[in-house]
Every structure is written in C-alpha cells, then in structure tokens.
Amino acid sequence: MEVVDKYKNMFINFTYLLFILLFLYGVSKSIQAKIYINELSKFNSLSTYLIQDNYSKTGVRFDTGKLGKFYTCLKSYKPLGWSSPKEGEASTVKIRIDNSYLLSARVASDTVYRFSLYKVDNGNSVEWSSNSYAVNCDLNLLNEFKEHSNTRLLEQLSSKKAYKELFKSNPELSLPKNQGRLGLFHSCLIKNKPWNDKTPISDEGMVKLDLLGYILHLGVVGNKVINFSIERYGLKRETLALSKTYKVDCNLSLLDR
C-alpha cells in the first residue's frame, strides 16, 4: 500500500510540475508574440512589398513597389478590438515585405483593419508570428509618398490634455504614470524635427497613449521618446487623420508634470 501511495504522490507531483512548465511556456510564447511586433521598426517607407495570394485588387493601384505612407499607417496599430472593419466583404491579403516578412491582413473595402506579422525564410516557412492588431490603413497608401494636409495635429493638443495608457509593445517599457495630463511632455513634443522616413525607426518598442479623440504613437528607447506620430479618431474609433513621424528627445518623466 505504501508503494502505491508513493507512486501516486510521484505522479501527482509530476502532473503539477508539468502543468507549471506548460503554463510558463505559454506565458513565454505570449510575451514573445507580443514583442515580435517591434520588428516593424526594421522597415521604412522604402521597404519593398509584393501582394500575394491572388488578392482581388479592385481599386488598389499597385501590387508591388515600396511601402510608402502605408508604413507610417501600419505603425499606428492598436490592440485588437479597438476599431471595427469598414463595411464591405472581408478577405485576407498577404503582403511580402523585404522578402523576409509576411503581413497577413484582413481587408474590407481595400482597407486593412487587422493584421499579423510573420517572419519567413526563403521557402516561406514561418519562423515566428506576432499577435494580431487593429489598424485602419488604405491599401492605396502603398507606394504613396505624397504628403497630405493632416500633419499639424499637435497644435490641437495642449499640456492640459488628459492621457491614458492604451498599449505597450514591450513589457520592459514603463510609464511614470499610466494616466494623467501631458504636462511638460507636450512642450517637449513641440520642439520636434522632421523624421527621415527613409531610415528605419530604431526604437525598443512603442507606447500608445489615448487622449480621447487622439492617440500619441511613441517610439521609445529606455525612458526616452525618440519619435512620435499623432492620430485623430472618430466616434467609432475610425482613423480620421494621421500625422507624419517626427523626431524628438523627450523623457517620459515629463508626463503629468
């Protein structure tokens, strides 16, 4: 009887250990899938793309070329469920980027509303995949470089504007306060310089701040913001305007001060 109890206890302990290991493995995979989205910083507006898988490109001007303004829009991604797709029949389009990455996107009315990023080898075997994210990007921004008139959104904000943390793409990034007022951080953003969109954005991750009607997309290294863009959204959380990317050197500690 003692031998039976001994093996029974060993089996229970083994089961517990296996459960803990599987749980830790699942947590690790989830964190990795979240971090993979930071690979977007390796692209730029001149990264090449090719639309694959016989997507019905009605209304889309170019099925191959450079990412152009689509890249800036892609960086405005939000947590899944942030926005709803446009009306129209939904389909999937796969976009090969720089021969090493695959963007799998859900599309309605030629607008990408959800995507995942995959790292692939020459044989199209998947090395890893990111989580899925919400976005609102017209496919006709591909190969588009003409500057539009929605780049002065910063003037519509102020130091008194309230913010709340929406998303962090890297768990190692942290804010001094998850919510508050822009404070002195706004004054620092005003001192921006043009960002050369032909170079990769070498940040450690992105922090998204919801300003109720606006979103600040912040590229962060350590505790400093090195670039940002501003998005204005509507009542249905649809993107109404998106600025270009600006270069700054702003410490996150300036928030709510």
DSSP assignment of 166-217 equals EEESSTT---S-SEEE-THHHHHHHT-EE--TTS----SEEEEEE-SSEEEE
- The three state secondary structure string of 27-67 is HHHHHHHHHHHHHHHHCCCCCEEEEECCCCCCCCCCCEEEC
- Is the CB of residue 140 less than 8 Å from the CB of residue 160? no
pLDDT value for 145: 84
Question: What tens digit of pLDDT does each residue of 216-226 get?
Answer: 999 999 899 99
Q: How confident is the model at residue 26 (pLDDT cuts 50, 70, 90)?
A: very low
- CA-to-CA distance for 62 and 57, rounded, in angstroms? 9
Do 15 and 54 fall within a single domain? no
Do 109 and 164 fall within a single domain? no
pLDDT value for 30: 42
Do 102 and 44 fall within a single domain? yes
- Asked if the model's pLDDT at residue 148 lies above 80, the reply is no
Q: How confident is the model at residue 215 (pLDDT cuts 50, 70, 90)?
A: very high
**Least confident piece of the model among 27-31, 129-133, 185-189:** 27-31
Q: How confident is the model at residue 202 (pLDDT cuts 50, 70, 90)?
A: low
Closest CA to 102 of 93, 110, 111: 93
pLDDT value for 76: 94
Residue-averaged pLDDT of the chain: 83
Do 27 and 48 fall within a single domain? no
47 Cβ contact partners less than 8 Å away, ≥ 6 residues apart: 66, 67, 71, 97, 98
Domain span at 21: 2-36
Do 32 and 60 fall within a single domain? no
pLDDT value for 28: 40
- Domain end marker among 98, 114, 141: 141
Question: What tens digit of pLDDT does each residue of 84-109 get?
Answer: 777 778 888 999 999 999 999 999 88
Do 63 and 18 fall within a single domain? no
Do 29 and 107 fall within a single domain? no
Number of structural domains (the chain) is 3
- Domain end marker among 141, 168, 191: 141
pLDDT value for 177: 93
Do 159 and 249 fall within a single domain? yes
Do 76 and 29 fall within a single domain? no
Do 20 and 91 fall within a single domain? no
Residue 74 resides in a domain: yes
Residue 147 resides in a domain: no
- Domain end marker among 106, 141, 176: 141
Residue 148 resides in a domain: no
Closest CA to 167 of 120, 129, 222, 215: 215
Q: At 22, give phi and psi (nearest 5°).
A: -65, -40
- Asked if the model's pLDDT at residue 24 lies above 70, the reply is no
Do 105 and 62 fall within a single domain? yes
Cβ count within 10 A of residue 118: 20
